[in-house]
């Protein structure tokens, strides 16, 4: 059973940690941080987060509305007293504390969402100044596992003194995706654009932010929170739990956010998704349709009533779409283009 637990630990030795040699780094201008501390912090977040919140443990989680739809996707970084005083001013130093990473366009709404439910909870909430702290990701983008089992000096690739860091539980461990809160002035020489990280993330089938996990519309299971350690089905009550748990028990998730590749020809697809930065002229509408290459058997005829799904985002010749699982590895149409959804790593055993 998926429980949202991710036990992998990140070394506190920040100058030397275990990472493959093929390391890439990117800073995010589209992410923001919200600070929370207080003696009721864990209890307060437990009532709102879909994942189980534990003091001192990093988490990936959805925050839902009462109808069980995703409002925010978030990463939670636990903070000690020293880290708190560096992150924000006027720290109280009581109870537990987290820095919560949110889509930049939704940060103010997220803070208001927390304040709405704060009531008498003894917590302090504050936005983090993006001119002082930002989010960095470092990852290994090779397909093969690293053969380096020793400690490697990562100072050529990484920030040597992040405020805090975590292993991103949404990705396979072989990719060593590391998120860190760092000063924006500490960009390494080998920094890549946000587009490079987005292309890597899309190939893994990991959606992120408002454009891909549409606030107030997306469901957590369709957005793969259950597969990416972002929801806990055995925790206590939280906002939106009833519908989420009911969908899980019924096994009614028939569509999910999936990676896809674009082409101008229906026969120009490989077995694995392959990225090219060359942009496509994409249709204005995001709805997908069947192509002749999909086939016309009886099951396909039945499926045409609902349509295969819709496109959420693109980067070069790849993208993410909310697509019915029946169409994995089948060729679809998107306007004048052809599109093939692929099975992401977290669905390989399904």
pLDDT in tens, 289-300: 998 755 544 344
Phi, psi values for residue 315, rounded to 5°: -150, 110
- Rounded Cα–Cα distance for residues 90 and 169 (Å): 31
Q: Residue 148 — pLDDT band, cuts 50, 70, 90? A: very low
- Rounded Cα–Cα distance for residues 174 and 229 (Å): 16
- Rounded Cα–Cα distance for residues 27 and 25 (Å): 7
| Tens of pLDDT, residues 53-95 | 999 999 999 999 999 999 999 999 999 999 999 999 999 999 9
Domains and their CATH numbers in the chain: 22-252 (3.30.1360.120), 254-347 (no CATH)
Q: Residue 12 — pLDDT band, cuts 50, 70, 90? A: very low
How large is the average pLDDT for residues 154-177? 76
Q: Are 162 and 180 in contact (CB under 8 A)?
A: yes
Distant-in-sequence, close-in-space partners of 216: CB < 8 Å, separation ≥ 6: 65, 69, 70, 71
| Tens of pLDDT, residues 89-147 | 999 999 999 999 999 999 999 999 999 999 999 999 999 999 999 999 988 865 543 33
Q: Residue 193 — pLDDT band, cuts 50, 70, 90? A: confident
Q: Are 62 and 241 in contact (CB under 8 A)?
A: no
pLDDT above 70 for 309: yes
What percentage of residues in the chain have a pLDDT greater than 70?
82
**What's the confidence (pLDDT) of residue 286?**
93
pLDDT above 60 for 19: no
**What's the confidence (pLDDT) of residue 146?**
35
Question: For all residues of the chain together, what is the average pLDDT?
Answer: 86
| Tens of pLDDT, residues 207-216 | 999 999 999 9
Q: Are 136 and 180 in contact (CB under 8 A)?
A: yes
- Rounded Cα–Cα distance for residues 200 and 187 (Å): 19
pLDDT above 80 for 304: no
How large is the average pLDDT for residues 154-158? 43
Q: Residue 22 — pLDDT band, cuts 50, 70, 90? A: low
pLDDT above 90 for 157: no
Q: Residue 161 — pLDDT band, cuts 50, 70, 90? A: confident
**What's the confidence (pLDDT) of residue 292?**
72
- Rounded Cα–Cα distance for residues 286 and 296 (Å): 23
**What's the confidence (pLDDT) of residue 293?**
59
**What's the confidence (pLDDT) of residue 116?**
96
pLDDT above 80 for 171: yes
- Rounded Cα–Cα distance for residues 324 and 341 (Å): 10
**What's the confidence (pLDDT) of residue 305?**
64
- What b/e sequence results for 244-279 when a residue is b if at least 16 CB atoms lie within 10 Å of its CB, and e otherwise? beebbeeeebebbbbbbbbeeebeebeeebebeeee
User: Global pTM?
Assistant: 0.88
């Amino acid at each position: 059973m998926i429980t949202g637990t991710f036990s992998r630990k990140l070394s506190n030795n920040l100058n030397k940690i275990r990472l493959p040699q093929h390391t890439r780094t990117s800073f995010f201008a589209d992410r923001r941080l919200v600070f929370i501390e207080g003696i009721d912090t864990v209890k307060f977040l437990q009532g709102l987060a879909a994942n189980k919140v534990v003091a001192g443990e990093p988490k990936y989680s959805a925050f839902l509305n009462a109808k069980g739809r995703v409002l925010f996707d978030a990463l939670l970084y636990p903070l000690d007293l020293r880290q708190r005083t560096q992150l924000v001013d006027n720290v109280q130093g009581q109870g537990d504390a987290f820095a919560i990473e949110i889509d930049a366009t939704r940060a103010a709404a997220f803070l208001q969402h927390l304040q709405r439910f704060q009531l008498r909870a003894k917590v302090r909430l504050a936005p983090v100044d993006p001119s002082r702290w930002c989010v960095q990701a470092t990852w290994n983008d090779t397909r093969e596992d690293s053969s380096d089992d020793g400690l490697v000096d990562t100072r050529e690739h990484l920030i040597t003194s992040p405020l805090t860091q975590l292993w991103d539980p949404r990705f396979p461990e072989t990719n060593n995706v590391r998120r860190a809160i760092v000063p924006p002035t500490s960009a390494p020489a080998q920094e890549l654009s946000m587009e490079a990280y987005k292309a890597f993330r899309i190939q893994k089938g990991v959606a992120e932010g408002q454009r891909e996990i549409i606030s107030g519309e997306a469901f957590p299971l369709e957005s793969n929170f259950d597969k990416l350690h972002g929801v806990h089905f055995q925790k206590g009550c939280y906002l939106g739990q009833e519908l989420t748990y009911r969908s899980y028990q019924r096994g009614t998730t028939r569509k999910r956010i999936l990676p896809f590749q674009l082409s101008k020809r229906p026969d120009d697809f490989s077995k694995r998704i392959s990225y090219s930065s060359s942009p496509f002229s994409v249709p204005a509408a995001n709805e997908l349709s069947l192509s002749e290459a999909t086939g016309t058997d009886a099951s396909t005829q039945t499926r045409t009533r609902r349509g295969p799904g819709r496109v959420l985002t693109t980067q070069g010749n790849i993208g993410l779409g909310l697509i019915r699982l029946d169409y994995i590895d089948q060729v679809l149409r998107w306007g004048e283009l052809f599109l093939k959804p692929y099975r992401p790593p977290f669905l390989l055993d399904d």
